[in-house]
Structure formats: structure tokens, C-alpha cells
């Protein structure tokens, strides 16, 4: 009887392990297939209008709702990492690399500030971000 139970337990854990490995594999597969969000997507979801990430970050940081602030700024940071993976939409490729790297750096600073629950750091980084729009639009937006 005891042996039977042990065997069952062994099979059962092996089964769970197999499922875990399988699901893990699927997730890895998903990630690989993830499309890089387009510049337009990043701009709209990141910056345009009341429901944009920067607005959400501002509001939740001000209200010290750190979980919300961290979630939104995490999404913004991911956008920051994705922007430069897009081909230059218009203008000079070297300038696009430089400005999208700057965007990546600033969005990472926003996220780091939220992770540290440091409202001042978030505000400073958002201020830098607000000053960076025009430079890039002048060079790379129609
Ligand atoms: C590193 C470059 C870069 C930075 C920084 C940047 N943008 Fe953009 N943005 C672009 C480009 C390129 C487009 C044109 C995208 C297209 O339509 O293909 C664009 C388009 C937009 C659009 C129009 C989206 C649409 O098609 O409806 C908005 C709104 C926008 N940006 C807002 C902002 C704001 C606000 C900031 C600053 C907080 C900002 N952007 C910072 C590169 C940038």
C-alpha cells in the first residue's frame, strides 16, 4: 500500500514537472514571437491623452499609489526598450539610434524612481521625458 502511494506520488510529481516544463516552454515560445510594438503604438499608448502611461504614472505617483505607478512605468520602460528596435521611420538612422537610446534611458529612470517609491525621481525623469518629445519629432516625425 505504502509503495503504491509512493509510486503514485512519484508519477504525480513527474507529471507536474512535465506540465511545468511544457508550459515554461510555451511561454518562452510566446516571448520569442512577441512583435515589437510599432512607434505609433508606443507614442499613442505611452503619451497621448488622458489614459496614456505618462498620465497614469503622474496621477498614481502623486497619489502615492505605488503599485499602479510601478505597473505603468514598467510598461513605459518596456516601450523604451522596444522603440529603438523599430526601423527609423524618417530621417537619419544614427540620430534615431541616439534619440531612441535616450528615450530608453529616461523611461528606465522613470521606472527606477517608481520602484524606489521616490516621487521626486519620477517627476524629474518625467520632466526630462517631456523635454525630449520635440527633439525627436523634429528629426523623425513627418
Ligand atoms: C525617440 C523619438 C521620440 C520621442 C522621444 C518621442 N516621440 Fe512621439 N513620435 C516619434 C515618431 C517617429 C512619431 C511618428 C510615428 C509614426 O506615425 O509613424 C511620433 C508620433 C507621436 C504621436 C502621434 C502618434 C499617432 O500616430 O497618432 C504622438 C501623440 C507623440 N508622438 C507624442 C509624443 C510625446 C508626448 C512625447 C514626449 C513625452 C514623444 N512623443 C516623444 C518619435 C518620438
Question: Over the stretch 73-95, which tens digit does the pLDDT of each residue have?
Answer: 999 999 999 999 999 999 999 99
Q: Does domain 36-140 have CATH number 1.20.120?
A: yes
Q: Is the dihedral of CA 64, 70, 75, 79 positive or negative?
A: positive
Tell me the domain boundaries of the chain. Answer: 1-34, 36-140
Q: Which of 110, 141, 142, when mutated, tests ligand 1's pocket best, judged by the most ligand atoms within 8 Å of its CB?
A: 141
- What mean pLDDT do residues 24-48 have? 75
For residues 113-142, one letter each, b for 16 or more C-beta atoms within 10 angstroms of the residue's C-beta and e for the rest, the string is bbbeeeeebbbebbeebeebeeebeeebee
- Rounded-to-integer distance, Cα 21 and Cα 19, Å: 5
Q: Which atom of ligand 1 is nearest to the CA of 96?
A: 1
Distance, CA 33 to ligand 1 centroid (Å)? 25
Task: Look at 23-32, 83-92, 109-118 and tell me which has the smallest mean pLDDT.
Answer: 23-32
Query: pLDDT class for 16, splitting at 50, 70, 90?
Result: very low
Q: Which atom of ligand 1 is nearest to the CA of 39?
A: 15
Query: pLDDT class for 10, splitting at 50, 70, 90?
Result: low
Higher pLDDT, 58 or 31: 58
Query: Model-level pTM greater than 0.95?
Result: no
Distance, CA 133 to ligand 1 centroid (Å)? 7
Statement: residue 30 has pLDDT above 50: no
- pLDDT score of 14: 56
Amino acid at each position: 500500500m505504502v509503495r503504491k502511494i509512493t509510486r503514485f506520488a512519484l508519477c504525480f510529481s513527474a507529471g507536474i514537472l512535465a506540465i511545468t516544463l511544457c508550459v515554461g516552454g510555451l511561454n518562452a515560445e510566446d516571448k520569442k514571437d512577441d512583435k515589437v510594438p510599432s512607434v505609433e503604438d508606443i507614442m499613442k499608448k505611452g503619451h497621448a491623452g488622458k489614459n496614456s502611461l505618462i498620465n497614469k504614472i503622474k496621477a498614481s505617483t502623486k497619489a502615492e499609489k505605488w503599485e499602479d505607478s510601478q505597473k505603468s512605468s514598467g510598461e513605459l520602460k518596456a516601450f523604451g526598450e522596444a522603440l529603438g528596435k523599430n526601423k527609423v521611420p524618417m530621417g537619419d538612422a544614427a540620430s534615431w539610434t541616439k534619440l531612441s537610446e535616450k528615450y530608453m534611458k529616461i523611461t528606465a529612470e522613470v521606472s527606477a524612481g517608481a520602484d524606489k517609491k521616490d516621487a521626486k525621481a519620477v517627476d524629474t525623469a518625467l520632466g526630462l521625458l517631456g523635454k525630449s518629445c520635440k527633439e525627436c519629432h523634429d528629426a523623425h516625425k513627418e
